Chains A and B, each alone.
Chain A
C-alpha cells in the first residue's frame, strides 16, 4: 500500500469520527465568531486595566485551587481505600458519589446550610457554629460537589492497573504504602491531571455557590462579571472578552498541569484484574478509616438534609401533581437524546485520538482532542447559548426548534465528562491490543464487536454522566426556555421563585432520585453486571 492509499483508507475508516469532531469544532467556532462580530476589540485593553477584574481573577484562582486541591487530596486517599477494602454499602456509596454533581446548586447550598449553618445540625446538636460564610463555605460546597466525582475518576485509573501487578505485590508481601507508591501512583498520576483540570475548571467558573456562601462581594468570581455583562448590561463584547479571558486562564492552568503528568505506563499484560489482599497494618487501617470517615462526613449529611422532605405531605402532593410529571417528561426528552449525542461525539473524539496514538507526527493529537472537549467547561453556558443563538439568528435558521438547541448544548456541555470516562479505557485497550489486531487484520465492525465487552463499562459510565448533567442542566434552558420546555430543574426554580420552597425541595428530591435511577440504569443496563472494584479472591 502506498502512503497516499493508506491515508485515504484511514480517512474513510475514520469518517464518522472526523464528522463528529468536525461538527463540534465547526459549531463551536461559528458560535464564537458570532459573538466576536458583536465585540468591539478596541475596548479590550480598557477592560484589562480595571483593578476590579484582577481582583475577581485572583479570587477565582485562589478558591478554585484550594477547592480542587482539597477535593483531590481527599479523593486519592478515598479511592485507594475503596480499591483495597470491601465493606457493606460500598456499591451504593459509589453510585451515590455520582449524584453529588447533579444536585442543583441552590439545593446543595441549602443542604450544607442545614448541616453547618447557624440553625444547622452542627450548632443544634454540638453547639458548634462554623464561620460558614466565606472561604470555608465555598470549599465545603465545592468539595461536596467535586470530591465524589474525583473519586470516581481516580477509580477509573485504578481499574486499569493490571492484575499481574497486584499478584506480584501480594506475593512480595507489599504493604499498602509500598503498593501505593510502586503500583498505584503511576496510574493515579496518569488520571490525576485530567481530574484536577476538570475539578479546577468547575470550581473556577462556579458562580451561585460562591456568591451564596461567600459572605459578600469580596467572594466573586469572573463568572459573576460575565453574567453581569450579559444580563444586566447586555454588553456581548465584554461578556465575550471575559469568557475568552476565563478560557485563557484555565488553558494556561491545564497546560501547566499536563506538563507535570507522566506519559502513561505501557501495559500489555492480560491477567484478569483482581486485587488480592495485601499485607494490612494498623497505619493503613487508621489512614483508610480517617479518609473514608472524612469523606462520608463531608458528603452524607448534606445529602440527608436534601432528602429531608421524603415522605412529608408536601412531597406526596408534589409527587401526585401532573405538572411534576410533565416536567419529568420534558427532562427526559432533553436528557436522553443529549446523552446519546454526547456519547456519540465522545466516541468520535476517542476514535480520532486512538488513531493518532503513537503515529509519528500525530502523537500530539490525543491530548489536544481531550483539551478541546475541556474548553467547553470554562465557556459559560449562558455565553455558549448566546453564541449559538446569534449564529442561528444570523444564519436565518429561526425555525430550528429550541428543543434541538438545548439538546445540542447539553450534549456539548457533558462532553468533558464523557471524554474523562471514555479516553483512559480507550487508550489502554489500544495499547494492549493494537499489535494483535493489526497482525490479525481485525478492523471495522469486527473490531467494534471485540472492543465492546472491554469498553462497555466506560461507555455506560459516560452515558450516565451525560444523562445526569443534562438532567441537572439549568443554564441553557433559561435562555431558550419557552413555556413548553419546563424541565425538572426549571420547575424547581419556578416553585422557589414563587415562595414555594417546600415544593421546590420535594422536586429536588425527585430530581436526585430520578438521576440515581437513570444512572443505575445506564451503568448496570449497558455497563453489565456490577463492577468489581476491590478485593477479589482469584
Chain B
C-alpha cells in the first residue's frame, strides 16, 4: 500500500516536471543535438556553445547524450526514421563511413572552405568541428629519455605502456590505424613486440589515463593536446606528448544533419554555426582539442608549445571501413599469441 502511494507521488512529480519543461519550450523551437556525454557535460564545451547558439537562433538547444560517439550513432540507428535528432555531433573519422551508409544523414550545404585541416576538407555530409592527434603521453619528471617515435615506443622493452582496446574505444582504434599506417604489413610483428611490455589494455580512454596517472605505466595512449589540460587547469608542466617522427595519426570529430530532422531549418543554421567563432572558440579549452578554423582570438599559449605534426598519416576512410575487421583480427592474433 505504502509503495503504491510512493509510486503515485513519484509519477506525479515526474509528470509535473515534464509538463513544466515542455511549457517553457513551447514558445521557442527546439533543436535536438545528439552528442557524447563529456561534450555536453558542465565541464565540456556544451553549455557555452548552447548559450552562444541560443543568442542568435531564438531557439532552445537541447543536448541529448549517449556514453560515447559509438553510442550516439547507435542511438540514431535505433531510432531510425522516427528519430528526434536534428544533428549528430561527435562522430569521428572512423565512424563516418558507417554513419554515411545508414542513409540517415543529409548533405550539410555548409561551405567548408575555411577549414584549416591539413589537406583541407571536402565532404558534402560531414562538417568537422575539432581535431587532434593520437600520441603517447609521458611524465617528464619520471621519464628521462622519452620516445621520439612510435617505433621507439614499440621497440623499447623497458617502457611500460598502457593503451586502449580497439574493440571498445576510439583512441584504441586510432592506435590500430596508426600502427597500420606506420608498419603496414609488419604490423603484426610490431604488435607482438609491443605486447611484451604492455601493462594493460583498457576498455576506455579514461580507464587507461587514470591508471597511468596512478603511476602504473611510463606512457599512455592519449592525445597531443592532453598536456594542455594539465597546464591550463592544474598548472602542471611535467606531462608531455611524446614525439612521433613517423607522423601522427589524426582524430577529427564531425557533425552531421539528419534527413528526418524534425527541425531542418534550425539544423542547417546549427551546421553553419559549427564553423563560427561561437562554436570554434570553445573547443580548445572545453574539449581539449584544436579548432578547425583559424581563430581571431589566439589559443592559450600552451597549445602553441604542443608538438606539431610534421607529417599526418591518414588511411583512406573506405579502406579503413573495409579492412577494420581484418586488422582487428591481426591485432588480436598478435597480442594473444
Contact = CB atoms under 8 A, between A and B. Distances in A.
Interface in B59-96: 62-68, 70-71, 73-75, 77-80, 82, 84
A393 B76 CA distance: 12
Given A110-B211, A323-B42, A211 B201 contact: yes
Q: Give the residue among B63, B67, B213 with the most A Cβ atoms within 10 A.
A: B67
A336 B13 CA distance: 13
A105 to B, nearest CB: 9
Contacts of B215: 117-119
Contacts of A52: 329, 332
Interface residues of B, number: 67
Interface string A385-399: 010011001000010
| Interface residue tally on A, bucketed by range | 35 or more
B45 to A, nearest CB: 10
Given A106-B207, A481-B67, A227 B168 contact: yes
B41 interface: yes
Interface in B161-199: 165, 167-168, 173, 195, 198-199
Interface stretch (B3-11, B245-253, B304-312): B3-11
Given A211-B201, A337-B10, A478 B210 contact: no
B67 A486 contact: no
A117 B71 contact: no
B303 interface: no
Contact of A486 (B13, B41, B216): B41
Interface in A218-233: 218, 220, 224-225, 227-228, 230-232
A211 B41 CA distance: 26
A495 interface: yes
Interface string A109-130: 1100110011100000000000
A479 B77 contact: no
A211 B202 contact: yes
Identify whether the interface residues of B are mostly helix, strand, loop, or mixed. helix
B318 interface: no
B288 interface: yes
A38 to B, nearest CB: 10
B48 to A, nearest CB: 14
B200 A133 contact: yes
B67 A390 contact: no
A403 B98 CA distance: 30
Contacts of A207: 203
A496 to B, nearest CB: 4
Nearest to A474: B67
A218 B198 CA distance: 12
A528 interface: no
Given A212-B203, A337-B6, A340-B7, A499 B288 contact: yes
Interface in B1-60: 3, 6-7, 10, 13-14, 18, 21, 37-38, 40-44
Contact of B65 (A340, A481, A496): A481
A490 interface: yes
Contacts of B77: 234
B270 interface: no
B260 interface: no
Interface of B: 3, 6-7, 10, 13-14, 18, 21, 37-38, 40-44, 62-68, 70-71, 73-75, 77-80, 82, 84, 98, 160, 165, 167-168, 173, 195, 198-207, 209-211, 213-216, 226, 229-230, 233, 288, 329, 331-332, 335-336
10 contacts: A113-B214, A113-B216, A117-B214, A211-B168, A212-B203, A224-B203, A227-B168, A231-B70, A481-B66, A483-B40
Given A52-B332, A211-B202, A212-B200, 17 more contacts: A52-B329, A208-B203, A215-B198, A234-B74, A333-B14, A336-B10, A337-B6, A343-B3, A386-B74, A398-B84, A479-B67, A482-B63, A484-B21, A490-B37, A495-B41, A497-B37, A499-B229
